[in-house]
Chains A and B, each alone.
Chain A
Amino acid sequence: MKDGKHITMGIESSCDETAIAVLADGREILSNVISSQIEIHKEYGGVVPEIASRHHLNNIPFVFQKALREANLGLTEVDEIGVTAGPGLAGALLMGTAFAKAVSAASGVPLVGVHHIQAHILANTIEHPDLEPPFLSLVVSGGHTHLIEVLGYNEFKILGATRDDAVGEAYDKVARVIGLGYPGGPKVDRLAKEGDPHAIEFKRVYLEKDSLDFSFSGTKTGVINYLHSAQQRGEEVKAADVAASFQQAVIDVIVDKAMWALDRTGYAGLAAAGGVACNSALRAALAAALESRGKKLWIPSPILCTDNGAMVAAAAYRKARLGLFATDRLDCFPGLNIETQLYKLDE
């Protein structure tokens, strides 16, 4: 507690980012430190020989200190420490959970295990006090594409998920083939603004009738086939049209399926989450579709969409209020299932 406020720390290291944040009362961001966005080199005068984004072991102590310093508080004032325990890369998750357990053991601050997707979804609760379960969530990121019913802060039902590429990944791969470099999701979004979204009709993959699952691999391959055949015919390709048309094909399917899920479940609105929720065209298309139905759209600010510690703290705050704490045996679970395995985090 500090100044009568409940303090939660959140630690995220499931993939590329090492990120630690401190929240007050589950909503007020006191600090939100993300390793790729700080210049540790400069700040620590070359203490760390090499900072790569995935070198969590090197990053984590500095990110931790910076998160506490920016929040202007000491560890004894923290009420609980949340940590992403899965899903993700085993070696990366392990750094976060081992660090969190060590800090918890040394300080006596209770530990909360958090599911990465749960954290993305509950990032919405930081800025949107009107959002309470149950609601529908669309999670779109580099590694995930899900339509999820949020039945409670720790209870989820997957309505649909990708069967191959995640949407952000399809963006990155298209960026690669049209020469924008990798990762290039945001670059496709920018380039698409200059192109005609109906110049090329790429395949929209809806799978079986009524399915809420996604498949983006075929659309990606469609873009590659289009580029190959244009090349063989010696035709010039307008990259902006390819980007815009690809983006339109992907967004059409996502928005349609999200609306089907909303019609089926009858919730008052949709909470979007994940890095691709930053995509301007997707935001606009979702907003238009929801408005025409008289439904609400919740989306976190861009900094809370990509992997960050604040979302983990937000989820940990909710779990702590439900009394769901982890023991010192908390492990990491690379394949953690959000529907059936959340109890593993609290055992």
Chain B
Amino acid sequence: MDRIILKNTEDTAALGQRIADGLKPGSIIALVGPLGAGKTTLAQAIARGLGVSERMSSPTFTIVQEYESGRLPLYHFDVYRVSDEDELFEIGFEEYLHSGGVCLIEWADLIDDILPEETVWVRLEYGEHEDERICAIE
């Protein structure tokens, strides 16, 4: 497991690029951490690393946002508002998982029992300073 200290947004951008470089069709990245830890910021950095050029915003309200302009299709989820697995099924979650794109899933700990083994878990926590974050990848 890697532990990385992110001191600023440049560090986040660099980590996003590093994660993006390793993505393949079907990759699943689970993003976990408390509110304000920077899940969406890191997701945006990964998207930029994939070459996504569209305007990006948080998927909290819409649950999933799709981006087609990068090296691979990107499906950016926030499953906080999903109440159960049936609801995930109804929004076509499994189809996204097997569509050949990349799934980035915020609040993935809420649905960990249905995510495949090969999911990469990225955990963000608050660091010592206000703008500092600690990122663990497993």
Contacts and interface: CB of A to CB of B under 8 A. Distances in A.
Interface of A: 15, 52, 54-55, 57, 87-92, 141-143, 161-166, 168-169, 172-173, 176-177, 182, 217, 220-221, 224-225, 228, 334-335
A57 B67 CA distance: 26
A161 B55 contact: yes
Contacts of B34: 224
B126 A89 contact: no
**Interface class of chain B by DSSP:** loop
A225 B58 contact: no
Q: Which of B34, B54, B63 is most buried by chain A, counting CB atoms within 10 A of its CB?
A: B63
B130 A225 contact: yes
Interface residues of B, number: 29
Given A52-B87, A89-B64, A165 B57 contact: yes
Interface of B: 34-36, 40-41, 44, 54-58, 60-68, 80-81, 83, 87, 90-92, 126, 130
A165 B58 contact: yes
Given A91-B92, A176-B35, A335-B66, A228 B126 contact: yes
Nearest to A215: B57
Given A163-B56, A165-B60, 19 more contacts: A15-B61, A54-B91, A55-B90, A57-B90, A90-B91, A143-B61, A161-B55, A162-B57, A164-B44, A164-B58, A166-B58, A166-B61, A172-B60, A173-B60, A176-B35, A177-B36, A217-B41, A225-B36, A335-B68
Contacts of A169: 58, 60-61
Contacts of B65: 334-335
